[in-house]
Amino acid sequence: MSTVAIPALETDRLILRAPQMSDGDIFADVLKSARSRRVGGPGGAWFPATWPKPDFGWLLYDDAHDGQGYGTKVMAALRDFTWDHVGLSTCGAYIANDNIASAAVATRLGGSIDEDARRSEKDDPIDAWRFYPKGKA
Amino acid sequence: MTVAFHIPEIETDRLRLRLPKASDLAAHIAFRTSERSKGVGGPFDAQSSFQSLEAIIGQWHLRGYGRWMVANKVTDEPYGVVGIYHPMDWPEAEIGWSLYEAGEGKGIAHEAATATREFAYTALGWSRIVSLIMPDNVRSIRLAKRMNCRKTEAFTHPEFGALDIWVHATREAA
C-alpha cells in the first residue's frame, strides 16, 4: 500500500485543494475554451521531467473571476508554501509576453524577467520569470 | 486539510503491481514514443509521458481505482502499465494493459490483468468488467480470448475511433 498526500492551502477567500471528480466538467470546458490557449494546466508548482526547472502555473476558469485578485492571492499562498514547506530556493514561470494579466500577477509576487533564461527559439514570445524568497534574490 | 489517497499493492508469482515512480519514466517514454504504443493510440511525444504517469497516479484519487506499474517482484524492473482505466470519455471502467519491450512474451500482461480482474471482483466488489480493444490490435485480442473475454458491441471514441468492448468472464467463470 502506498499513500499519496496532497496538502491544501487556505487564503481569506479560497482553498487550494486536490482536484476532485466533480471538477471534471468545468475543467474540460476551460481546456476547450480560448482561456487555456496560453497554459497547460491549473495552478500549482509544476515540474515535468522534461522542463529545466520547477515552475509556478495558474489558470483561472472564468472571465467572472478576473480582476478580483484571485490569481495573486492564490499564487502568494503557493509561493510562500514553496519556500517554507517544499524548500525550493527559486521557482520560475513562463508567461507569453502579451499576457498582461499574468505578467501583473508575476510582478506582484515579486518576480522579474530572467533575460538569461534558456529559450527554445531566438524570437520566443514567452518570457521566463524568476522568483526568489525575500532577501535571497 | 490534506487529501490522502491509497494505492494498494498487489503481488503475483513474478510481479509487483505498485505506484509508478520517477525512475519508471525512461521506460515509459521509450514505450510511448515507439510503435509499441500503437494499440493505445500512439506513438506519442516524449513530453506527454510525464503527464501520462501523473494521470495514472491521479485516477486513483479521482475514481478510487486505477492502474499500476507492473514491475519484476525481485529486481523492480518496470514491465508496463496494467490496471483499471477509466477516463471521462470512456463508456465504463476497463482493464487496460500496456506492455514495455522488457515485459514482452513472458505472459506478464496475462498475469497482471488476471490479478486486476480479481481485484475488481473482490476488493471493489464489481460483477462486470470489460476491456476496450482496437479491432486491429491482434496481441490484445489474443490476450482477451485467453482470459475468456467475449466481444460485444463497439464503442466509437472521437479520437481513437472504433473500439471493441470485450466483456470479461464473470468471477465464477474466470
Q: Please indicate whether, in this complex, the C-beta atoms of A7 and B2 are within 8 angstroms of each other.
A: yes
Residue A79 covered by a domain: yes
Residue B14 three-state SS: coil
Cell output for A55: 515552475
Domain count, chain B: 1
CATH, residue A47: 3.40.630.30
| CA distances to A53, B58, B59, B68 from A49, in Å | 9, 17, 20, 20
* B17 interaction partners in chain A (CB closer than 8 Å): none
Q: With 80 as the cut, is the pLDDT of residue A82 above it?
A: yes
Residue A98 covered by a domain: yes
What mean pLDDT, rounded, does chain A reach? 83
Residue B37 covered by a domain: yes
Residue B134 covered by a domain: no
Q: With 60 as the cut, is the pLDDT of residue A40 above it?
A: no
How far does B2 lie from chain A, in Å, by closest CA? 4
Domain count, chain A: 1
Residue B94 covered by a domain: yes
Cell output for B129: 468488467
- Closest Cβ opposite residue A8 in set B2, B60, B63: B2
Low-confidence ranges of chain B (pLDDT < 50): none
Distance CA A105, CA A58 (A): 10
The pLDDT score that the predictor gives to residue A47 is 66
Is residue B4 less than 8 Å (CB to CB) from chain A? yes
Q: Please indicate whether, in this complex, the C-beta atoms of A20 and B62 are within 8 angstroms of each other.
A: yes
* B22 interaction partners in chain A (CB closer than 8 Å): 49
For residue B94, give its domain range: 10-126
How far does B8 lie from chain A, in Å, by closest CA? 4
Note the pLDDT tens digit of each residue in A83-135. 999 999 999 998 888 888 899 999 999 999 988 876 666 666 888 999 999 87
Asked if A61 and A30 touch (Cβ cutoff 8 Å), the reply is yes
The pLDDT score that the predictor gives to residue A97 is 86
The pLDDT score that the predictor gives to residue B56 is 97
Question: Between these two residues, A29 and B129, which has the higher pLDDT value?
Answer: B129
Q: Please indicate whether, in this complex, the C-beta atoms of A5 and B88 are within 8 angstroms of each other.
A: no
Q: With 70 as the cut, is the pLDDT of residue A54 above it?
A: yes
Q: A109 Cβ partners below 8 Å, 6+ apart?
A: A56, A72, A75, A76, A79, A131
Residue A5 covered by a domain: no
Q: Sort strands B67-72 and B78-85 into parallel, antiparallel or unpaired.
A: antiparallel
Asked if B132 and B163 touch (Cβ cutoff 8 Å), the reply is yes
Distance CA B41, CA B59 (A): 19
Q: Please indicate whether, in this complex, the C-beta atoms of A6 and B3 are within 8 angstroms of each other.
A: yes
**Mutating which of B61, B67, B76, B119 best tests the A interface, going by the most A Cβ atoms within 10 A?**
B61
Give me the interface pTM, i.e. the ipTM.
0.79
Average of per-residue pLDDT across A65-86: 89
Is residue B7 less than 8 Å (CB to CB) from chain A? yes
Q: With 80 as the cut, is the pLDDT of residue A50 above it?
A: no
Q: Please indicate whether, in this complex, the C-beta atoms of B6 and A50 are within 8 angstroms of each other.
A: no
The pLDDT score that the predictor gives to residue A41 is 46
Asked if B144 and B134 touch (Cβ cutoff 8 Å), the reply is no
Q: Please indicate whether, in this complex, the C-beta atoms of A5 and B46 are within 8 angstroms of each other.
A: no
Residue B141 covered by a domain: no
How far does B150 lie from chain A, in Å, by closest CA? 31
* B5 interaction partners in chain A (CB closer than 8 Å): 3-4
* DSSP string across A26-95: HHHHHHHSGGGGG-SSSSEEE--TTSSS-EEE-----GGGTTSSHHHHHHHHHHHHIIIII--S-EEEEE
Give the lowest-confidence range in A11-15, A58-62, A121-125: A121-125
For residue A83, give its domain range: 40-131
CATH, residue B89: 3.40.630.30
How far does B3 lie from chain A, in Å, by closest CA? 5
The pLDDT score that the predictor gives to residue A79 is 94
- Closest Cβ opposite residue B5 in set A4, A7, A50: A4
The pLDDT score that the predictor gives to residue A43 is 58
Q: Please indicate whether, in this complex, the C-beta atoms of A50 and B46 are within 8 angstroms of each other.
A: yes
Asked if B83 and B95 touch (Cβ cutoff 8 Å), the reply is yes
